[in-house]
Chains A and B, each alone.
Chain A
């Protein structure tokens, strides 16, 4: 099977093994992720942010960290190899957004319209 694999893997002009990953990118990703995690804990446990804004701050930090993970750990870049991955991710994000916000919205309406 190995011979077959190599045959199909090697399209003209394409290197057999290529990777955008290296030691530095993983280390940078880890440093950013640890920094964002610690910031999230600090924001949630202190009065650094205006109290009603803490939830928003935490969500923003979470999205930033998800972005760090996607770029540095999952290597989701802007290269042509990633076009399909990015499109699929965009669709996934849309569905996740619809399910979560839709559920919260509908149930909040239901509560508001309940008989006491």
Chain B
């Protein structure tokens, strides 16, 4: 039997399959956070199921096509898409230790996310003022629960972003700050995936 050093094991083959030493902390942290995101998806699947079941029960109240403004929804979608893009570029700048570029992209991401939230909240307020409040019908209860839960996630993502920018400014781009940034960017991209479901099920199918 020959003794091989760990260096002789091709890292690309061995990692993640029990050989070649432990996976880098970065990989382990991302995996743990990915499990959290998947549990969030499972939570949302319950809300999607409720909406799919209740969306026809308007109890004589306003229906989807009367309430939804697809132009606003398109702007909201683009805000989230481009914020995902700037979030990705920000993460890239952080990995390359370009602090100022990271701060610019983080600012852009925040502005785009806040624009999304602003449109969504003003749309909610408009619906409530027209008598389409969550208590009006089962359809509206499910609508506000599903879309509102996504909005709450975006809000917490924005608060987390402020917190991450503060950490980058105070501590610099250290390895553990970079790993927290990685988790935040995973969270932000995951919100965009949830929004694709909301857009398709609630708005595009509902507005026909």
Q: Are A33 and B21 in contact (CB under 8 A)?
A: no
- Indicate whether B67 reaches chain A with its CB closer than 8 angstroms: no
- Chain B interface residue count: which class? 35 or more
Contact B77 A8 (CB under 8 A): no
Within 8 A of A (CB), among B80-101: 81-82, 84-85, 88-89, 91-92, 95
Asked whether any CB of chain A lies closer than 8 Å to the CB of B174, the reply is yes
B3 to chain A, nearest CB (A): 15
A114, chain B: closest CB distance, angstroms? 13
Q: Is the CB of B205 within 8 A of A58?
A: yes
Inter-chain contacts of B49 with A (CB < 8 A): 99-100, 102-104
Whether B16 pairs with A80 at a CB distance below 8 angstroms is: yes
Task: Tell me the minimal C-beta distance from A97 to chain B in angstroms.
Answer: 8
Contact with B along A16-36 (1 / 0, CB 8 A): 110101110011011001100
Contact assessment for A44 and B20 in the assembled complex, using a CB-CB cutoff below 8 Å:
no
Chain A residues within 8 Å of chain B by Cβ, number: 60
Decide if B24 touches A9 in the complex (CB within 8 Å). yes
The reply to whether B21 and A12 form a contact with Cβ atoms under 8 Å apart is: yes
Contact with B along A70-88 (1 / 0, CB 8 A): 1001100001111111001
Partner of A89, one of B11, B38, B46, B84: B38
**A residues in contact with B11, CB < 8 Å:** 11-14
CB contact under 8 A between A6 and B70, given known A99-B49, A100-B48, A100-B52: no
A30 B82 Cβ-Cβ under 8 A: yes
Binding site for A on B (CB under 8 A): 5-7, 9-17, 20-27, 30-31, 34-35, 38-39, 41-42, 45-46, 48-50, 52-53, 70, 74, 77-78, 81-82, 84-85, 88-89, 91-92, 95, 174-176, 186, 189-190, 192-193, 196-197, 199-200, 204-205, 207-208
**Known interface pairs A9-B24, A14-B24, A81-B27. Does A91 touch B38 (Cβ–Cβ under 8 Å)?**
yes
Complex contacts, B46 vs chain A, CB 8 Å: 99
B84 CB contact (under 8 Å) in A1, A22, A69: A69
Q: Is the CB of B41 within 8 A of A81?
A: no
Instruction: Tell whether A58 pairs with B200 under 8 Å between CB atoms, given A1-B176, A6-B175.
Output: yes
List of 3 A-B pairs having minimum Cβ-Cβ separation, nearest first: A92-B38, A103-B49, A13-B11
- Beyond A14-B15, A26-B85, A45-B70, is A81–B189 a contact (Cβ under 8 Å)? no
With both chains docked as a complex, state the minimum distance between the C-beta of B81 and any C-beta of chain A, in angstroms. Answer: 5
Contact between B20 and A13 (Cβ–Cβ < 8 Å)? yes
Q: How far is the CA of A103 from the CA of B49 in the complex (A)?
A: 6
In the assembled complex, the CB of B132 is this many whole angstroms from the nearest CB of chain A, namely 21
B70 to chain A, nearest CB (A): 7
